[in-house]
Amino acid sequence: MSPLTKRARFVAAATTPLLLLGVAATATAPAAHAASTGANACTHPGWSNKSPGKGKSKSGRAPVRSGPNKGCPVQFWAGRTYTLYYHCWVKNSAGHKWTHLRVDSEGVSGWVYNKNLDDGGSVHPANKC
């Protein structure tokens, strides 16, 4: 047997248990948290600018989120002083209507739950995303 063959067999014999241990560790690793579902799931539906409407926050601060669900991250808090320019609307999996809009003065766009808008948001059928 050549020295190269001996070396190859030695390396294979030495590393095989480590590889098997790695596979076993991977197979038994704890599972990641399950993704949120329903009203908490963060979805990102397509949108386009179909609405000429604009409005204001109904309360002191309306969260502008990355998607039309309460589980989506807040990108901006729109107070009553901001003019919100509507794009379109969707109904999420929980049956709630959300408006995609932009806060022009801040260069931010995102989704706001229609109940947080002073006029109920963009809800005309022609403005559906």
Measured distance CA(91)–CA(105) in Å, rounded: 27
d(CA 56, CA 104): 12
The stretch 90-111 carries a mean pLDDT of 94
Gap between the Cα atoms of 31 and 53, Å rounded: 45
Q: Enumerate domains of the chain plus CATH numbers.
A: 49-127 (2.30.30.40)
Model pTM score: 0.69
Residue that is written with structure tokens 């050549």 in the block: 2
Q: Taking residues 102-129, what's their average pLDDT?
A: 94
- What tens digit of pLDDT does each residue of 58-99 get? 988 999 999 999 999 999 999 999 999 999 999 999 999 999
pLDDT tens readout for residues 13-53: 554 444 344 433 333 333 333 445 555 679 888 999 998 89
Structure tokens at 28: 């038994």
Residue 112 predicted with pLDDT over 60: yes
